[in-house]
């Protein structure tokens, strides 16, 4: 009954006219951002993040949810048609999608990707509604020690996975993020730290400028660097949709992908790429036609696309309930919440149910609109991919710069975005983790506050973190998470 | 073996710890204070960077293999980055429209787009963006020192 009531509440909020418009715009932009190779769903969210600052909280969240949903599907278009995944989360889609395109069945592959992206999104939104609030209520038992241990777990999980397999680089990225978060006034004593006497740094760096710099600038400059003057992309494909029978045949793979995507999404740091690869391989294991996987089967596309879309809802469970984002896009969503003065956790569910359930309703509607819009927009999205990249890239760059400037009307924010853009390029080049860095920055304040509060309560006794069972459990989990890559590497 | 990045990280961690140690610790029953926490973070980064430095120096793993010049940019990316910085700095003084038109022109020129097309595109998009931001979103963008102040026109917009 709660599920039903919550869904009704969410839908009633999401169905307000301005929210519907933002969902549709979000899905449209998401599909385009996801379809342009190099511009991921996360970059798509980062690009518009400055503009959400001026929206109402609910509208901002449903807009971003629409982009995330559309972006996940958008990435499958290039994976299927160009053998280049729009984002890493679509990596498993090209295993079967591109062979289908070569067989002349690209329309079928694209429509299966669309149907199962939407199917997984709707199905797992129900699971999100079921799981998020109980988990958030459980978090009411958390004191500073538990909050610290939980943040530590989130940071260690992302650092261990996101460092391109190199734990040290993941940890360095995370530490740098934590260090950057200390810039500004100390919230306990008010003492200025690392500001160099500059007033503009009293509140620290602008988080939007940092995120735009880290995730949007490097992608665009990479596109600029990879631009090929002689190569004109021209995509042509057979636009014949999958039949109803073909859609039904894929349902088992779609269900497997959805559940795996949801579970993987809940784990911090795992992300859409792992979800889609595990979803694909599990669907293969349970399929009667396992030999066809990798050679061009619709079941493979259904499994991969349902897994990466379900990952969205999975990642939102810890993000909303505990304030621990599981992926870059979830970090950006968390930042948007914080920008609107909202703190994830149990209080968010009771104080601002319109935002939480509005977001759930928005996710539900995003997936329905994705299905409707997707069928009509595929051709236009491909036209945009075919657009002369310099026009698209230069316009996007100007919009980002203006968006960042718009927040505080400070040139300083643009400079910050550029500096973090260069940092992002260096980090990507040398396989440091921008995801761990951004998570360190976003969670840094919570990490420090809970750490210092816990030690204040215990009069400086660090045993407080071990004496409390939940905290101890989470710290042990963090140690296991951090040591797993080392043990796994040695075994390998 | 390139050890520039691990060495830089070691230096950053030392500088960070040294500056951090100047902040007060153990104030108002807060045992860490503003200082000790930052020192703790600095030491953590120092240890991690040192491991990375040793690893790359010992050549156990080819952690950094390419020259720094190669890292960042090809020629166009580098030029665009420099121009973006100039754009950011000059927008306040020269104004949004002139700066944006110039940025578009340089960007598109680098990609060998014909001058007629890029001048037309630059002007059209810059003016459109200006109208959207200033008149529709009511967000003042810099008019600069050359163009007249548009705030008076914004005031008379029916939705303001």
The answer to whether residues B141 and B130 touch, using CB atoms and an 8 Å cutoff, is yes
A250-264 b/e with 16+ CB inside 10 Å = b? bebbbbbbbbbbbbb
A22-68 tens-digit pLDDT: 999 999 989 888 877 667 788 888 888 888 877 888 999 999 999 99
Q: Which helix (H) or strand (E) holds A193?
A: strand A192-193
Q: Measured on CA atoms in the order A43, A45, A46, A47, is the torsion positive or negative?
A: positive
The answer to whether residues A106 and A238 touch, using CB atoms and an 8 Å cutoff, is yes
Q: Which helix (H) or strand (E) holds B54?
A: helix B33-58
Q: How far is CA A57 from CA A48, A63, B23, B101, in A?
A: 14, 10, 37, 34
Indicate the average pLDDT of chain A: 83
A128-156 tens-digit pLDDT: 888 887 877 777 778 889 888 888 888 88
Q: For chains A and B, count residue pairs whose Cβ atoms are closer than 8 Å.
A: 152
Whole-number CA gyration radius for chain B: 25
Residue A384 has pLDDT above 70, yes or no: no
Q: How far apart are CA A13 and CA A395, in angstroms?
A: 33
Measure CB to CB from residue A182 to each of B38, B100, B110 and give the nearest one.
B38
Search chain B and give the residue with CA nearest A168: B48
Residue A138: left if φ>0, alpha if ψ -120 to 50, beta else—which one? alpha
Residue A306 has pLDDT above 90, yes or no: yes
Asked if A224 and B77 come within 8 Å (Cβ–Cβ), the reply is yes
Q: For residue A83, what are its two tokens?
A: 């053998």
User: Which residues, 6+ apart, have CB-to-CB distance to A429 below 8 Å?
Assistant: B66, B71, B72
Give a yes or no: residue A237 inside a domain: no
**CB < 8 Å to A425, chain B:** 71-73
Burial class (CB in 10 A: 0-12, 13-18, 19+), A153: buried
The answer to whether residues A298 and A111 touch, using CB atoms and an 8 Å cutoff, is no
Which of the two residues, A397 and B145, has the higher pLDDT score?
Answer: A397
* Mean pLDDT value across residues A165-187: 89
The answer to whether residues A129 and A390 touch, using CB atoms and an 8 Å cutoff, is no
Give a yes or no: residue A355 inside a domain: yes
* Residue A63: per-residue pLDDT: 93
pLDDT class for A186, splitting at 50, 70, 90? confident
Q: How far apart are CA A304 and CA A72, in angstroms?
A: 11
The answer to whether residues A208 and A404 touch, using CB atoms and an 8 Å cutoff, is yes
Q: How far is CA A379 from CA A100, A106, A332, B65, in A?
A: 18, 12, 29, 42
- In DSSP notation, A76-134 reads HHHHHHHS--SSGGGTTHHHHHHHHHHTT-HHHHHHHHHHHHHHHHHHHHHHHHHHHHH
Considering its fold, how many domains does chain A have in total?
A: 1
* Mean pLDDT value across residues A92-116: 87
Give a yes or no: residue A236 inside a domain: no
Q: Which residue has the tokens 């057979």?
A: A238
pLDDT class for A269, splitting at 50, 70, 90? low
Q: How far apart are CA A204 and CA A440, in angstroms?
A: 14
B5-43 tens-digit pLDDT: 889 999 999 999 999 888 876 666 676 777 888 999 999
* Mean pLDDT value across residues A283-298: 85
Residue A279 has pLDDT above 50, yes or no: yes
Asked if A193 and B38 come within 8 Å (Cβ–Cβ), the reply is yes
* Residue A253: per-residue pLDDT: 92
Chain B nearest CA to A62, separation (Å): 20
* Mean pLDDT value across residues A427-446: 85
* B159 SS3 class: coil
* Mean pLDDT value across residues A411-435: 85
pLDDT class for A236, splitting at 50, 70, 90? low
* Mean pLDDT value across residues A9-23: 89
* Residue A381: per-residue pLDDT: 66
Asked if A391 and B108 come within 8 Å (Cβ–Cβ), the reply is yes
Question: What do you get for the CA distance between the two ends of chain B, in Å?
Answer: 61
Give a yes or no: residue A232 inside a domain: no
B45-65 tens-digit pLDDT: 999 999 988 888 776 554 444
* Residue A457: per-residue pLDDT: 87
Q: How far apart are CA A322 and CA A318, in angstroms?
A: 5
How many other CB atoms sit within 10 Å of the CB of residue B124? 12
Q: Which helix (H) or strand (E) holds A424?
A: helix A411-429
A239-253 tens-digit pLDDT: 678 888 899 999 999
Q: For residue B147, what are its two tokens?
A: 């163009």
Q: How far apart are CA A302 and CA A256, in angstroms?
A: 10
* Residue A386: per-residue pLDDT: 61
* Residue A254: per-residue pLDDT: 92
Whole-number CA gyration radius for chain A: 22
- Give the best residue of A171, A212, A398, A423 to mutate against chain B (max B CB count within 10 A): A398
* Residue B71: per-residue pLDDT: 45
B80-108 tens-digit pLDDT: 878 888 888 888 788 888 888 998 898 88
Q: How far apart are CA B156 and CA A457, in angstroms?
A: 57
> Percentage of residues in chain A with pLDDT exceeding 70?
90
Domain carrying residue A89: 2-227+242-491
Chain B nearest CA to A149, separation (Å): 16
Asked if A188 and B34 come within 8 Å (Cβ–Cβ), the reply is yes
User: Which residues, 6+ apart, have CB-to-CB distance to A418 below 8 Å?
Assistant: A213, A217, B81, B84, B85, B88
Asked if B104 and A399 come within 8 Å (Cβ–Cβ), the reply is no
* B30 SS3 class: strand
A428-439 b/e with 16+ CB inside 10 Å = b? bbbebbbbbbbb
Closest CA to A425 of A223, A228, A222: A222
**CB < 8 Å to B63, chain A:** 166, 430
Indicate the average pLDDT of chain B: 77
* Mean pLDDT value across residues A255-262: 90
Q: How far apart are CA A130 and CA A136, in angstroms?
A: 11
* Residue B15: per-residue pLDDT: 94
Q: How far apart are CA A82 and CA A97, in angstroms?
A: 10
Number of helices and strands in chain B (H, E): 7, 0
Asked if A430 and B49 come within 8 Å (Cβ–Cβ), the reply is no
Asked if B141 and A456 come within 8 Å (Cβ–Cβ), the reply is no
Asked if B88 and A172 come within 8 Å (Cβ–Cβ), the reply is no
* A184 SS3 class: strand
Q: How far apart are CA A121 and CA A115, in angstroms?
A: 10
Q: For residue A253, what are its two tokens?
A: 């793979």
* Mean pLDDT value across residues A204-219: 83
């Amino acid at each position: 009954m709660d599920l039903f009531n919550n869904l009704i509440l969410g839908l009633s909020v999401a169905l307000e006219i301005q929210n519907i418009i933002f969902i549709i715009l979000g899905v449209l932009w998401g599909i385009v951002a996801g379809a342009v190779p190099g511009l991921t769903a996360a970059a798509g969210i980062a690009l518009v993040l400055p503009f959400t600052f001026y929206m109402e909280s609910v509208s901002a969240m449903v807009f971003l949810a629409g982009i995330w949903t559309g972006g996940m599907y958008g990435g499958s278009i290039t994976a299927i048609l160009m053998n280049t995944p729009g984002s890493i989360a679509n990596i498993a889609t090209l295993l079967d999608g591109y062979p289908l395109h070569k067989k002349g069945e690209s329309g079928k592959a694209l429509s299966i990707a669309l149907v199962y992206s939407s199917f997984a999104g709707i199905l797992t939104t129900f699971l999100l509604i079921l799981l998020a609030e109980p988990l958030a209520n459980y978090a009411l038992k958390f004191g500073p020690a538990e909050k610290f241990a939980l943040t530590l777990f989130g940071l260690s999980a992302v650092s261990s996975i996101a460092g391109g397999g190199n734990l040290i680089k993941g940890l360095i990225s995370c530490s740098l993020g934590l260090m950057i978060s200390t810039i500004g006034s100390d919230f306990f004593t008010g003492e200025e730290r690392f500001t160099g006497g500059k007033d503009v740094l009293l509140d620290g760096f602008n988080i939007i400028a940092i995120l735009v710099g880290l995730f949007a600038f490097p992608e665009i400059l990479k596109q600029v660097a990879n631009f090929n003057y002689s190569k004109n992309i021209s995509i042509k494909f057979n636009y014949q949709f999958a039949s109803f029978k073909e859609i039904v045949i894929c349902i088992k793979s779609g269900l497997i992908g959805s559940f795996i995507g949801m579970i993987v999404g809940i784990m911090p740091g795992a992300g859409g790429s792992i979800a889609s690869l595990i979803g694909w391989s599990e669907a293969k294991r349970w399929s009667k036609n396992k030999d066809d996987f990798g050679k061009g089967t619709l079941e493979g596309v259904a499994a991969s696309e349902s897994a990466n879309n379900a990952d969205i809802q999975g990642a939102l469970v810890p993000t909303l309930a505990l304030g621990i984002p599981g992926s870059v896009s979830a970090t950006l969503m968390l930042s948007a919440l914080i920008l609107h003065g909202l703190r994830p956790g149990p209080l968010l569910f009771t104080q601002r149910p319109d935002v939480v359930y509005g977001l759930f309703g928005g996710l539900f509607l995003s997936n329905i609109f994705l299905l409707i819009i997707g069928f009509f927009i595929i051709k236009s999205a491909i036209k945009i991919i075919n657009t002369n990249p310099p026009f698209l890239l230069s316009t996007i760059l100007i919009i980002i710069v203006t968006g960042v400037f718009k927040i505080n009307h400070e040139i300083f924010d643009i400079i910050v975005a550029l500096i973090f853009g260069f940092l992002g390029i260096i980090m990507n080049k040398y396989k440091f983790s921008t995801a761990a860095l951004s998570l360190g920055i976003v969670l840094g304040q919570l990490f420090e506050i809970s750490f210092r509060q816990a030690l204040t309560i215990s009069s400086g006794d660090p045993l407080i973190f071990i004496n409390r069972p939940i905290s101890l459990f989470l710290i042990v989990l963090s140690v296991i998470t951090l040591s797993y890559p080392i043990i796994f590497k040695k075994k390998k | 073996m390139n050890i520039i990045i691990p060495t830089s990280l070691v230096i950053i961690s030392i500088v960070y710890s040294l500056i951090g140690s100047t902040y007060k610790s153990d104030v108002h029953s807060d045992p860490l204070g503003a200082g000790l926490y930052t020192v703790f973070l600095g030491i953590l980064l120092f240890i991690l960077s040192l491991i990375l430095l040793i690893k790359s120096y010992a050549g156990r793993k080819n952690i950094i293999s390419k020259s720094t010049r190669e890292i960042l940019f090809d020629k166009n990316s580098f030029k665009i980055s420099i121009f973006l910085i100039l754009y950011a700095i000059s927008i306040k003084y020269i104004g949004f429209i002139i700066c944006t038109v110039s940025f578009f022109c340089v960007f598109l020129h680098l990609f060998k787009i014909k001058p007629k097309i890029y001048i037309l595109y630059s002007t059209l998009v810059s003016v459109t963006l200006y109208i959207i931001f200033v008149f529709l979103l009511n967000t003042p963008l810099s008019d600069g020192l050359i163009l007249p102040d548009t705030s008076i026109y914004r005031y008379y917009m029916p939705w303001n």
